């Protein structure tokens, strides 16, 4: 694997009585943000070959929106990605590193912790991206990591290249 794309699910309806966390759906803004983020990834040349996605509804809906933009990707829903931590994410990536560009769609705080651990091990080619990743990892946020060579997943080989936030994309589109 040469590239790793970590994406937090898009904006969801708030938790309320009668809706469990696992079944929360995307809001209309969440649907739009997921698609717009995928469009930006394609424009940057970061289309995934394989997507690992949490089986929670909000993650699956995020993936479905993104998949309308991507071509040729293979989607693998994984129950183990629902609210997993850094170690579970690292194991999932390690077991699926045959694609040259792998995408993971999951949840915080695990996804943010995982991205920060890769940043600590591998560093960043963009100081501003590192600062943004350290701040927070909001819904529809994407962290792009790249290794110098194609090979198995070793966090120290991956450098943070860019962080994309849906809010920033909306603002750029409006301006």
- Print pLDDT tens along the chain (175 aa): 899 999 999 999 988 777 788 999 999 999 999 999 999 999 999 999 999 999 999 999 999 999 999 988 899 999 999 999 999 999 999 999 889 999 999 999 999 999 999 999 999 999 999 999 999 999 999 999 999 989 899 999 999 999 999 999 999 999 8
Q: Please, what is the angle between helix 57-67 and helix 28-43, to 10°?
A: 50
| Cβ-based burial of 67 (10 A; exposed 0-12, middle 13-18, buried ≥19) | middle
Within 10 angstroms of residue 58's Cβ, the number of other Cβ atoms is 26
Domain locations in the chain? 3-174
Distance CA 122, CA 119 (A): 5
Structure tokens at 31: 């649907």
Record the pTM: 0.96
Question: What beta strand segments (E) does the chain contain?
Answer: 3-8, 50-54, 74-78, 101-106, 142-147, 158-164
CATH of domain 3-174: 3.40.50.1240
């Amino acid at each position: 694997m040469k590239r790793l794309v970590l994406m937090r699910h898009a904006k969801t309806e708030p938790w309320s009585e009668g809706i469990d966390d696992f079944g929360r759906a995307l809001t209309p803004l969440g649907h739009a943000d997921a698609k717009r983020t995928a469009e930006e990834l394609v424009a940057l040349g970061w289309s995934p070959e394989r997507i690992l996605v949490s089986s929670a509804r909000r993650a699956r809906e995020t993936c479905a929106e993104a998949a309308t933009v991507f071509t040729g990707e293979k989607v693998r829903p994984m129950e183990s990605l629902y609210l997993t931590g850094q170690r579970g994410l690292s194991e999932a990536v390690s077991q699926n590193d045959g694609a040259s560009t792998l995408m993971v769609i999951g949840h915080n705080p695990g996804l943010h912790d995982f991205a920060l651990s890769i940043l600590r091990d591998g560093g960043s080619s963009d100081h501003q991206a590192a600062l943004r990743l350290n701040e927070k990892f909001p819904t529809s946020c994407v962290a792009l990591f790249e290794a110098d060579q194609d090979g198995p997943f070793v966090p120290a080989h991956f450098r943070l290249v860019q962080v994309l936030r849906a809010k920033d994309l909306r603002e750029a589109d409006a301006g």
